[in-house]
Amino acid sequence: MALIKKPVTGMKDILPEEMKIREYLMSVIRDTYAGYGFSSIETPCVEHIENLLSKQGGDNEKLIFKIMKRGDKLDLGGAKEENDLADSGLRYDLTLPLARYYSNNSASLPSPFKALQIGSVWRADRPQKGRFRQFTQCDIDILGEAGNIAEIELILATTQALSRICPGKRFEVRVNDRRILKGMADWAGFAEEDVPAALIILDKMDKIGIGGVKAELKEYGFSEESAEKYTALLGELGSDAAAVERLPEQTGGCVAQEVSENLCEIMRTVDACRSSGFGLVFDPTLVRGMGYYTGTIFEVSMEGFSGSVAGGGRYDRMIGKFTGSDTPACGFSIGFERIITILSDSGFRVPEEAEKTAFLYEKNIGAERLKEILEEAERLRAQSGHKVLVAKMNKNKKFQKEQLAAEGYGEFREFYREALKQ
């Protein structure tokens, strides 16, 4: 029986043209983040199943690719449920592994620690355009910094990276705070235990609108008074720092003055310091589904794509799950695959920094002649920084050159057994 040629559903082979774009984007992202003092790290793709199922990842915990126990540890007969068969799994994001990494290595790291991670993650999700079961995330995190400087630098660095890798694309950063969401829900009369359900409905605002949110709140069983009060407040709020500033008074103190002032400071400082052009707005409907967020949250939306292309927030209690002592932490992640989709759809080409020349040699050329060709290619690479491809000449030389031209080769030199023809 023939083996299967196609990759597993939700995963893909990456052809050279896309790989060139991916490597270029990664180099620009790394260069940008290095300019802000972030250090590259790497964590294993496999994590302990106890960590992955620690109720930190929200719905992503339902999408884990679990790895079965091996050897004597695998007891098929004695297993009562699926989790009895697994002791590890593929990471579903880079944040949980980073928290474990920091907990294990903090004695050897500076404080605060500014980490950069670019790597693959896996989720058993339903594939669609721009969403795969294996995909790359680009994360920056600041660990050990409780002040607003963490959020400000993360937003400035991420927007600078997006401006460089998506030139000409308009994008907008939306910010909120989980404590603001909680305070607004308290003010509207939702019971403590009902707030998570109310926020899940609020998170649908971009799909069903404010009327749909009000209707769903009532359908869920919340009182009409709370639903009306909550959605009326959402409709009244503005999107600038002044709107955040008014929240403590509007909510009768349910949104704390300190929380309001923190978000105002972040917005106004980013607005004053930014070197690239983007929108910055307060979005009271921004929720973000990850269970580990404790404070500020943010997302980036970009023209030409319906979902967010980057997101993150503060998660001050995750490291404490490992160490027993909470450590301030905040991160921002670029949705790398979504950026690839946006750029591919717009016909993006990698800027060529060096000239590219193709040396095409005739079939059955002698070993001595081939050595001379390779020596000449090496001299050209060393002297001028040229990119030189040495390849056997195809029968259909015209088509071969067309393919190479599409890859950026602008000069061709042909080598034959008898003499050099150019």
Please indicate, yes or no, whether residues 226 and 360 belong to a single structural domain of this protein: no
Per-residue confidence band for 4, with pLDDT thresholds at 50, 70 and 90 = very high
Number of domains in the chain: 2
pLDDT at site 269: 95
User: Domain for residue 9, yes or no?
Assistant: no
In a 13 Å sphere around the CA of 145, the CA atoms on its Cβ side amount to 19
- Higher pLDDT among residues 260 and 416, named by residue: 260
Per-residue confidence band for 290, with pLDDT thresholds at 50, 70 and 90 = low
Please indicate, yes or no, whether residues 109 and 141 belong to a single structural domain of this protein: yes
- Nearest 5°: CA angle at 147, between 144 and 153? 85
| Mean pLDDT score, 399-413 | 87
Model confidence pLDDT, tens digit, residues 89-138: 999 999 999 999 999 999 999 999 999 999 999 999 888 776 789 999 99
| Mean pLDDT score, 243-252 | 94
User: Domain for residue 6, yes or no?
Assistant: no
Helix (H, G, I), strand (E, B) or coil at 177: strand
Mean pLDDT of the chain: 89
The CATH number assigned to the domain holding 188 equals: 3.30.930.10
Please indicate, yes or no, whether residues 137 and 45 belong to a single structural domain of this protein: yes
Rounded Cα distance between 214 and 134, Å, is 36
| Mean pLDDT score, 346-368 | 83
Please indicate, yes or no, whether residues 302 and 402 belong to a single structural domain of this protein: no
Q: What distance separates the 2 farthest-apart alpha carbons in the chain?
A: 92
User: Domain for residue 1, yes or no?
Assistant: no
Please indicate, yes or no, whether residues 340 and 362 belong to a single structural domain of this protein: no
Residue finishing a domain among 302, 319, 345: 345
Cβ atoms of 118 and 326 within 8 Å: the answer is no
User: Domain for residue 4, yes or no?
Assistant: no
Cβ atoms of 91 and 122 within 8 Å: the answer is yes
Q: Please write down the HEC assignment for all residues of 82-136.
A: HHHHEEEEECCCCHHHHHHHHHHHHHHCCCCEEEEEEEEEECCCCCECCECCEEE
CB atoms inside a 10 Å sphere around CB 151? 29
| DSSP structure class, residue 1 | -
Cβ atoms of 229 and 217 within 8 Å: the answer is no
**Residue type (1 letter), 155:** I
| Mean pLDDT score, 336-360 | 84
Cβ atoms of 250 and 233 within 8 Å: the answer is yes
Please indicate, yes or no, whether residues 318 and 365 belong to a single structural domain of this protein: no
Model confidence pLDDT, tens digit, residues 8-58: 999 999 998 899 899 999 999 999 999 999 999 999 999 999 999 988 777
Rounded Cα distance between 246 and 28, Å, is 40
Rounded Cα distance between 116 and 123, Å, is 21
Predicted confidence (pLDDT) at residue 190 exceeds the cutoff of 80? yes
Residue 350 buriedness (CB in 10 A; 0-12 / 13-18 / 19+): middle
User: Domain for residue 50, yes or no?
Assistant: yes
Please indicate, yes or no, whether residues 76 and 211 belong to a single structural domain of this protein: yes
Which residue range is the domain that position 85 belongs to?
16-345
Rounded Cα distance between 83 and 335, Å, is 30
Please indicate, yes or no, whether residues 45 and 87 belong to a single structural domain of this protein: yes
pLDDT at site 192: 86
Please indicate, yes or no, whether residues 277 and 408 belong to a single structural domain of this protein: no
Please indicate, yes or no, whether residues 360 and 315 belong to a single structural domain of this protein: no
Please indicate, yes or no, whether residues 291 and 415 belong to a single structural domain of this protein: no
Q: Which of 315, 307, 317 is nearest to 331 (CA)?
A: 315
- 13-27, 90-104, 157-171, 358-372, range with greatest mean pLDDT: 90-104
User: Domain for residue 2, yes or no?
Assistant: no
- 9-13, 290-294, 328-332, 357-361, range with greatest mean pLDDT: 328-332
Share of the chain above pLDDT 70, in %: 95
CB atoms inside a 10 Å sphere around CB 406? 10
Residue finishing a domain among 318, 345, 372: 345
Please indicate, yes or no, whether residues 332 and 304 belong to a single structural domain of this protein: yes
User: Domain for residue 3, yes or no?
Assistant: no
